[in-house]
Amino acid sequence: MESDPIRVAVIGTGRHTRQILLPALLRSQGIRVVTLATAHPETAAAAQQELGFPAVVGAETVLARSDVEAVVVATSGASLSQFTAAALAAGKHVFCETPGIRTPEEAQAVGTALRQSDRVLAYGTCLRYAPIYQQLRALLPEVRTAEGVVLTLRYYEWLRHIYDLALYLLGDVAAVTSLRRAGQHVTLLEFAAGDLAMVHGGGPPNVAIPMELAEVSGPSGLLSARGARELWSYRGLPSVSSMDVAFDSAPATVWAPSASIPYASLTPLTLRGYVPELESFAQSVRTGAPTLSGLDQAERTLRLERAVARAEAEGSRVTVEPPFSLA
């Protein structure tokens, strides 16, 4: 029935599963975790004792079970795409953690398995589902003009989610220029629609420093998402010269949810997008609703990552390669 929770097995019980995925799965409506799978007997026993769920050895064990409708693939490296393709071939719906696919060959293998199944495939792109970035995207038309907008993104050294966020906000990227200095990346993205973005990745080796920033500026205003918790919006303001500025020259609308009442939709796992992305996956399985994070989106992010790597290696502007054949 559409209202029944989907029965899920989790493949992989590393730190991300223990600290993020399982807590998010337990908070997600429409999902029930029935078992875990690991590669070794000792890790299965440890996971079962620590996490309180039945745990088995080997992904093939859960893929053969009729009571498992869907799997969450939370391993690493090549096994992400291998388990995804195997699960689709076994008739399971799949939620696969980022990066999911790392090469055109992996994308093509998963694409073949997906085409031959009638299952749902979604990837872990939590920022697309984070309320702050969905609100930012909804406000974009209010600052956009025919001249386009400029997006500024800053994050730590792990940029896969940030490149995906850029695509979510502004669409396809046509060309890339990227440089590395002092262990940091500075990348210019030229979007097909004419917009620009600057992505700054890396910084001091202390990830407790709040580096995350997403700002969109245009002739009609500025949108600033700060630290993934506050969204400031300056829209529809008159021109003010440096000779005429006053305290109230730039009033802003601010979204800043309380951290004092961390219930309902104000839990960190929801604000970061982990719970919404899993609930969206469950809804897609039950109703056939489209997902924001399917194979086509993962493929676009992979092509952008490859273009950034080429631009950095060559020290030149490069165009993003055409879509891979996923047939």
Give the pLDDT confidence of 313-323 residue by residue, as tens digits: 999 999 999 99
Residue 279 lies in a domain: yes
Average pLDDT on 182-200 reads 96
The overall average pLDDT reported for the chain is 94
Average pLDDT on 162-181 reads 97
Same domain, 107 and 143: no
Same domain, 10 and 54: yes
Please tell me the distance from the alpha carbon of residue 64 to that of residue 234, in angstroms, as a whole number.
54
111 has a pLDDT exceeding 90:
yes
Residues composing the chain: 327
Q: List the single range of 73-82, 173-182, 234-243 with lowest mean pLDDT.
A: 234-243
Same domain, 157 and 216: yes
Q: What is the CATH number of the domain that holds 232?
A: 3.30.360.10
Torsion angles phi and psi, residue 181, rounded to 5? -140, 135
2 has a pLDDT exceeding 70:
no
Q: How many domains does the chain have?
A: 2
Residue 94's pLDDT is 98
Same domain, 159 and 259: yes
Residue 327's pLDDT is 60
Residue 140 lies in a domain: yes
Same domain, 40 and 87: yes
Q: What is the CATH number of the domain that holds 96?
A: 3.40.50.720
Same domain, 140 and 110: no
Residue 222 lies in a domain: yes
Range of the domain at 158: 131-265
Average pLDDT on 136-147 reads 93
Residue 301 lies in a domain: no
Average pLDDT on 193-198 reads 97
Comparing 140 with 262, the larger pLDDT belongs to: 140
Residue 312 lies in a domain: no
- What are the tens digits of pLDDT across the range 236-246? 888 999 999 99
Residue 179 lies in a domain: yes
Domain boundary among 265, 283, 315: 265
Residue 256 lies in a domain: yes
Torsion angles phi and psi, residue 298, rounded to 5? -60, -35
Please tell me the distance from the alpha carbon of residue 55 to that of residue 74, in angstroms, as a whole number.
14
Average pLDDT on 60-66 reads 95
Give the model's confidence band at 3: pLDDT under 50 very low, under 70 low, under 90 confident, else very high: confident
Average pLDDT on 168-178 reads 98
Same domain, 83 and 177: no
Same domain, 256 and 214: yes
Same domain, 142 and 259: yes
Q: What is the pTM of this model?
A: 0.95
Same domain, 258 and 183: yes
Same domain, 183 and 138: yes
Note whether 153 and 226 are within 8 A (CB). Answer: no
Average pLDDT on 251-260 reads 92
283 has a pLDDT exceeding 60:
yes
Same domain, 148 and 224: yes
Residue 306 lies in a domain: no
Which ranges constitute the DSSP H helices of the chain? 15-16, 22-27, 41-51, 59-63, 79-89, 104-115, 126-129, 131-139, 160-170, 268-271, 274-287, 295-314
